[in-house]
Amino acid sequence: MKTIAINQYGSADEFTMVDMPTTEPQADEVQVAIHAFSLNPMDIAGRMGALSSPFTDLWAFPLVLGWDFAGVITKMGKAVTGFNIGDAVFGSAAPAHAANNGTYGEFITVNTKELAHLPAGLSFDQAAALPIAGLTAYYGMKHNLKLQSGQKILVQGGAGGVGLFAIQIAKAFGAYVATTASANHRDLLTRLGADEVIDYHETDPAAVLHDYDAVFDTVGDIDTGLKVLKADGQLATIAGQPTDEQQHDQQKKVAFQFTQGSSQDLADLAQLVVSGQVKLTVATLPFSVANVIKGHRSIESRHTTGKIVIHVTD
Ligand SMILES: NC(=O)c1ccc[n+]([C@@H]2O[C@H](COP(=O)([O-])OP(=O)(O)OC[C@H]3O[C@@H](n4cnc5c(N)ncnc54)[C@H](OP(=O)(O)O)[C@@H]3O)[C@@H](O)[C@H]2O)c1
């Protein structure tokens, strides 16, 4: 199969087209022909050699990066139930996977726990944008912050891959949503439902927002989030490690959140997209080394808008 791989850790220029063997499915696994995959900041960390165990346990060079994918099942292990050859599916590969089993290629082999069926009304390109960013936001709102209708939440970094999901999911849950972004993103975020958009280059959110029930931090600015929070509010950060001091600020609950979420959460999130409550902002690029490099450089700029998807096949 064709893959876009690296032969050593380094800059985005390391990517090259490499022919690699496909992986045969184990009893509880399926092989999927990838129609689209999306890029995440975690891919950049992997490329630079900044990830460690468990991510890297099975890695070798050439290394195929990438976790998010959507495609069609081509082979099945004997113990698989609930899925069939020809099913359209999407999901995220296990954190630790073999060097030739990342998503930047034509096939991937995954456990069915990592899969959901593609619902009618969702394209492969759209579905590939959901798993890591969408689930992180969905898990944050639903299971971690347990956001309730009428509560006030600040989403720090509303225009990014995770942030755009977070503000819309929070709105779908009935919350009042403030968010931070650069000025060029104000119109988009307002259109997607944000009640207040704060240009963080000009205004300190802590100067204008007070007594918030919840903060979802996607940029690693925990101190600002804490100042916005009410005395017993809750802050979830996906981009910083809270210090002891930050964790013991009044009665606030402050914690780092890993990407979590079940196939059911992924299916529920997909329904929010199909129903139009969550709109996707996706830049879709054809499968090529140049486009993977372009996507990585864009994410490294820290100012991408929404998700970058690589379209592999129709
Ligand atoms: N813990 C986990 O499991 C988990 C899961 C997913 C992601 N992450 C991490 O979460 C972070 C966000 O992921 P992502 O996919 O959303 O990244 P992303 O799409 O690359 O985020 C880019 C966005 O960040 C915004 N931004 C940058 N600095 C900002 C600041 N100081 N204040 C407000 N907005 C700022 C930019 O907005 P403007 O252009 O408007 O400035 C841009 O739209 C990354 O560090 C990623 O590694 C963690």
Q: Is 151 within a domain? A: yes
Query: Domain holding 53: CATH number?
Result: 3.90.180.10
Residue 6 sits in the same domain as residue 30: yes
**SS percent in the chain: helix, strand, coil, step 5:** 30, 30, 45
The closest-lying atom of ligand 1 relative to the alpha carbon of residue 306 is: 19
Question: 40 C-alpha to center of ligand 1: Å?
Answer: 10
Q: Is 175 within a domain? A: yes
Residue 54 sits in the same domain as residue 19: yes
Predicted confidence at residue 34, as pLDDT, reads 98
Residue 27 sits in the same domain as residue 121: yes
Residue owning the nearest CA to atom 9 of ligand 1: 239
Q: Is 198 within a domain? A: yes
Q: Please provide residue 267's backbone torsions phi and psi, each rounded to the nearest 5 degrees.
A: -65, -40
Report the pocket of ligand 1 as residue ranges, CB < 6 Å: 40-42, 132-133, 136, 156-157, 159-163, 180-182, 185, 200, 218-219, 221, 238-239, 257-259, 299, 302-305
Predicted confidence at residue 89, as pLDDT, reads 97
Q: Is 181 within a domain? A: yes
Q: Is 272 within a domain? A: no
User: Of the candidates 293, 282, 286, 283, which has an alpha carbon nearest to the alpha carbon of residue 311?
Assistant: 286
- For residue 25, is the peptide bond before it cis, meaning its omega torsion is within 30 degrees of 0? no
263-274 and 131-139 helices, crossing angle to 10°: 100
Predicted confidence at residue 300, as pLDDT, reads 97
Cα–Cα distance for residue pair 302/299, rounded to 1 Å: 5
Q: Is 178 within a domain? A: yes
Do 217 and 234 contact (CB within 8 A), yes or no?
Answer: no
What token pair was written down for 215? 């903060």
Predicted confidence at residue 263, as pLDDT, reads 86
Task: List beta partners, residue 32.
Answer: 73, 108
Q: Is 271 within a domain? A: no
Query: Domain holding 196: CATH number?
Result: 3.40.50.720
In the chain, how many domains are there?
2
Residue 18 sits in the same domain as residue 118: yes
Could you tell me the pTM of the whole model?
Answer: 0.97
- For residue 205, is the peptide bond before it cis, meaning its omega torsion is within 30 degrees of 0? no
Residue 220 sits in the same domain as residue 243: yes
Residue 95 sits in the same domain as residue 142: no
Residue 239 sits in the same domain as residue 156: yes
Residue 111 sits in the same domain as residue 69: yes
Question: 86 C-alpha to center of ligand 1: Å?
Answer: 35
Residue 251 sits in the same domain as residue 137: yes
Do 17 and 4 contact (CB within 8 A), yes or no?
Answer: yes
Residue owning the nearest CA to atom 39 of ligand 1: 303
Residue 233 sits in the same domain as residue 161: yes
Structural domain harbouring 229: 133-256
What are the pLDDT tens digits along the chain (314 aa)?
999 999 999 999 999 999 999 999 999 999 999 999 999 999 999 999 999 999 999 999 999 999 999 999 999 999 999 999 999 999 999 999 999 999 999 999 999 988 999 999 999 999 999 999 999 999 999 999 999 999 999 999 999 999 999 999 999 999 999 999 999 999 999 999 999 999 999 999 999 999 999 999 999 999 999 999 999 999 999 999 999 999 999 999 999 999 888 888 999 999 999 999 999 999 999 999 999 999 999 999 999 999 999 999 99
Q: Is 275 within a domain? A: no
The closest-lying atom of ligand 1 relative to the alpha carbon of residue 256 is: 1
Predicted confidence at residue 294, as pLDDT, reads 98
Residue 150 sits in the same domain as residue 238: yes
What token pair was written down for 1? 């199969």
Residue 118 sits in the same domain as residue 148: no
